[in-house]
Structure 1
Amino acid sequence: MKKWIWSSIIILVLCLILGNLYLLKKYDADLYFVSKVDAFHQPVEGDIRISHFKKGVVTAQEESVISYQPQLGVIEEILVKEGDFVQVGTPLVQYSTTQSEGLIQQLESKIERAQAEERKLSKDISALKSISYPTVFESEWEEAQAEANEILIDSQIRELELKEELLEIDIEDYELQLESIENEADAQTILSTTDGIVKSINKNGKDELITIITYPYVIKGELSEQELQSIQVGQKVYISKGKQPLIGTISDISQFPVNSPSLHEETSYFPFTINVEEVEDQEQLLFGHHIGVEVVQQESFATLLLPEHSVLRNRSEYSAFVMEKGKVKEVELQLGIESKGRIEILDGISMDDIVVGAPDKLIKADTPFIMPVKKLIVKSSQLEDVNKKEATTTILRAMIAN
């Protein structure tokens, strides 16, 4: 190769080096310590929680059994069928009341006759009391006769009043007997003592005539030995069912495992029970259905949240870069709950701050920042107002950032 070519190359390289050194010296204040920001976002307000996800099954906490009661007589009718929803006071079984009905009719007839006789006596007494006596007599004999009649009528009135009192006693006695028999007849109708659903009816059974699954339902599941260390009675539970999750509470954790302890098993599992808060729609919890539950460990509502990649960690200290007045500024953070790629921010930033997303190690605090822009087609007419200094500075910043 000819010497002049080599000389030209060397001179060109030297010119480039000297030119860059000149530009670096001239625009030093504008070129050093520029941080590149690829993404940013603002904190959002939301809910966050740490949970254990478990599976459960909808079941009854207990069953109510209605047994046959031979002392009440023969079963006349079973008033419910399998699958019926019953409440406290719902009639379930009707025993025969034929004998009671006959006694009730007899007593009602006696009461009616006694009341009719009582009304007749009352009229007779009123009639006797309405009799008037003369006050002037023509002879002593007439006066004596009048006195004798008055004594006789008074005697008749007292006799009728005594009969009336005896009838009132009889009527009261009949009514007490009637009330007692009616109560016995009512006792021959067996009523439900609980809310629930009729599970089974055994018409030929003696011990278990009707079985009722008590309501409200509960959810039962199993916890491993490891899960027992972080889950306790009283913890809140979200139940995944429908658009709106139901809320419940762990009401019981058994001290005894499901199966007998064995060295051949890696772990033991312990039954737990969840009580569900009031359910408006019974279709949300169907007996026997499997369901997902979320046992809450920690929970915060309406709190500031950031993506975890926006938070810098240095041992026990946490910080983030915020964009403020053309520079990036590092602020210390106080963190709360961390879950599913989000972190609760207790202190350090506000909703109005703009936070650098996924900052790299090249970002420095209190330095200007640049951001990548979308690819644009720039027309020559748009560059007419840009001077050489601004153009050179922009090009060099882009070269350094990339």
Structure 2
Amino acid sequence: MFKSKKAKIALFSGIGLVAVALVLAALLLNPNSSQSTTDTEVGLTYTVAKEGSIASATLLSGTVSAAEEQYVYYDGSKGDLETVYVGQGDQVQVGTPLVKYDTSELQATYDTAVRARDKVARQIHDLKTNGQTVTMTGDEATDNSNVASTQRSVDMQLQDLNDSYADAQANVDKAAAALNEATVTSTVVGTVVEVNKSVSRSNTSTNQTVVHVVNQGSLQITGSLTEYDLANIAVDQEVKITSKVYPEQSWTGKISYISNYPEGSQAAAVTGTSGNSGSKYPFKVALTSEVGPLKQGFSVNIEVVNTSKSILVPVTAVVAEEEKNYVWTIVDGKAKKVEVTLGSADATNQEVTAGLTVGDQVITIPNDSLEDGKEVEAYEEPTN
């Protein structure tokens, strides 16, 4: 029994030695087998560098307002209001009469101006027709002198009368214009949205609205920019407009106006104090898509569209080392480290302004084991 046990142990030990020997022999016969998982990187993904635009970081807010509207304010210099021709909800065209002032005083002024002009016209006609009489003495030299003197006098009177007629005609034209302006007409095609007949000279308000006309189909977006936004926004830039009321819809537009001056009382505060939060500059956006369900007064969000094109890679592909930036590319199945110059970035994409070309294969998420010239096995990430 004792010998048998020894033999059994020796047998098992021999089997173990044989196994170890077989492993060592395999390694000696195939020295590259132990490096098969380290000389070639596997499990990597890559994306193809493409040209595109990143999302804009400039977001604004604004209010939908009428792009075409007309306010008719009461003008006390024209007299008392006589007639309001329209009512709320009426549709009007360009030239439709809206209101008329009392023209009795204006008509009297016009009539007086016409009479004064006509009086001068009669004087001119009389002078040209009848002239002046010259008494002849029979002395040729004296008579010639008197005729010449009288002619000069007639010419001067005629010139003065012509000047007076021109002044009188100007007064007639002015009175006629005032008479015509007594009737205020519409300057836009639209709907009358407000009518106020209870206005008078006794009211001290300088902006008494009599009639308000709005073109309901012509809308724009108005708002204010901060001084920091001015550097990123220019007239004619395209924008995307969204509304919380209709979250599934969007509209397109274009910046049509940016004021060079801060709005309201902020102009006086531009000198700057430590407590100044920044000036506001009015801007306007013209809609370039159908108005649809947008209405005046809606609050909307405005995203400035970035139309500039550059090479884009995933933000995860960029590796920063000692104040330089790199990406790992795949060339002929091998890893290559490339220094790049970066532009702007959003949540997913990074602009590359130098170092790459469109179509380069860029490793999406590089790891520390990558080496220049080392073979890599990677598959392309699907595009969204």
Q: TM-score, normalised by structure 1?
A: 0.55
Partner residue in 2 for 1:363: 370
In 1: Cα distance, 2:90 partner to 2:321 partner: 62
Task: Trace 1:247-258 onto structure 2 (pairs within 5 A).
Answer: 247-248=254-255, 250-251=258-259, 253-254=262-263
Task: Trace 1:80-95 onto structure 2 (pairs within 5 A).
Answer: 81-82=88-89, 89-95=95-101
Unpaired runs of 5+ residues, structure 2, are 112-168, 201-207, 243-248, 267-274
Partner residue in 1 for 2:86: 79
Partner residue in 1 for 2:308: 301
Partner residue in 2 for 1:314: 321
| Cα 1:222–1:52 shift into 2, 3 Å | same
The more displaced of 54-63 and 239-248 is 54-63
Task: Trace 1:2-401 onto structure 2 (pairs within 5 A).
Answer: 2-4=8-10, 6-8=12-14, 10-15=16-21, 17-25=23-31, 33-59=39-65, 64-67=71-74, 69=76, 71=78, 75-79=82-86, 81-82=88-89, 89-95=95-101, 186-192=180-186, 198-206=192-200, 207-211=208-212, 217-220=220-223, 230-232=228-230, 235-236=233-234, 238-241=239-242, 243-248=250-255, 250-251=258-259, 253-254=262-263, 271-277=280-286, 279=288, 281=290, 283=292, 286-294=295-303, 299=306, 301-371=308-378
SS in 2 for 1:359: coil
In 2: Cα distance, 1:7 partner to 1:37 partner: 41
In 1: Cα distance, 2:333 partner to 2:355 partner: 19
In 2: Cα distance, 1:320 partner to 1:280 partner: 41
How far is 1:202 from its partner? 0.9
The more displaced of 283-292 and 2-11 is 2-11
| Cα 1:322–1:54 shift into 2, 3 Å | same
| Cα 1:180–1:346 shift into 2, 3 Å | closer
How far is 1:292 from its partner? 0.3
1:197-246 Cα deviation digits (max 9, x unpaired): 755211222333224579874422586xxxx5x32377246241454421
In 2: Cα distance, 1:351 partner to 1:79 partner: 64
How far is 1:281 from its partner? 4.5
In 2: Cα distance, 1:85 partner to 1:36 partner: 74
Amino acid at match of 2:222: I
Identity of aligned residues (%): 19
Partner residue in 2 for 1:158: none
SS in 1 for 2:194: strand
1:303-352 Cα deviation digits (max 9, x unpaired): 21111112222132122222222212222212212112201122222222
How far is 1:56 from its partner? 2.7
In 2: Cα distance, 1:268 partner to 1:93 partner: 45
In 2: Cα distance, 1:199 partner to 1:352 partner: 58
Whose helix fraction is larger, Structure 1's or Structure 2's?
1
| Cα 1:9–1:360 shift into 2, 3 Å | farther
| Cα 1:342–1:45 shift into 2, 3 Å | same
Partner residue in 2 for 1:146: none
| Cα 1:233–1:17 shift into 2, 3 Å | closer
Q: Please tell me whether the aligned partners of residues 90 and 192 of structure 2 are also in contact (alpha carbons under 8 angstroms).
A: yes
Unpaired runs of 5+ residues, structure 1, are 105-175, 258-265, 374-402
1:285-307 Cα deviation digits (max 9, x unpaired): 632101002357xx452321111
How far is 1:67 from its partner? 0.6
SS in 2 for 1:209: strand
Partner residue in 1 for 2:128: none
Amino acid at match of 1:210: V
In 1: Cα distance, 2:176 partner to 2:301 partner: 51
Q: Please tell me whether the aligned partners of residues 49 and 360 of structure 2 are also in contact (alpha carbons under 8 angstroms).
A: yes
Amino acid at match of 2:302: V
Amino acid at match of 1:33: D
| Cα 1:243–1:9 shift into 2, 3 Å | farther
| Cα 1:37–1:359 shift into 2, 3 Å | farther
Q: Please tell me whether the aligned partners of residues 47 and 300 of structure 1 are also in contact (alpha carbons under 8 angstroms).
A: yes
SS in 1 for 2:229: coil
Q: Please tell me whether the aligned partners of residues 34 and 370 of structure 1 are also in contact (alpha carbons under 8 angstroms).
A: yes
1:46-84 Cα deviation digits (max 9, x unpaired): 112542324332347998442165855652332353586
In 2: Cα distance, 1:256 partner to 1:16 partner: 92
Q: Please tell me whether the aligned partners of residues 35 and 363 of structure 1 are also in contact (alpha carbons under 8 angstroms).
A: yes
In 1: Cα distance, 2:265 partner to 2:75 partner: 35
Measured on the aligned residues, the alpha-carbon RMSD in Å equals 4.6
In 2: Cα distance, 1:10 partner to 1:199 partner: 101
Q: TM-score, normalised by structure 2?
A: 0.57
Amino acid at match of 2:195: I
In 1: Cα distance, 2:38 partner to 2:175 partner: 106
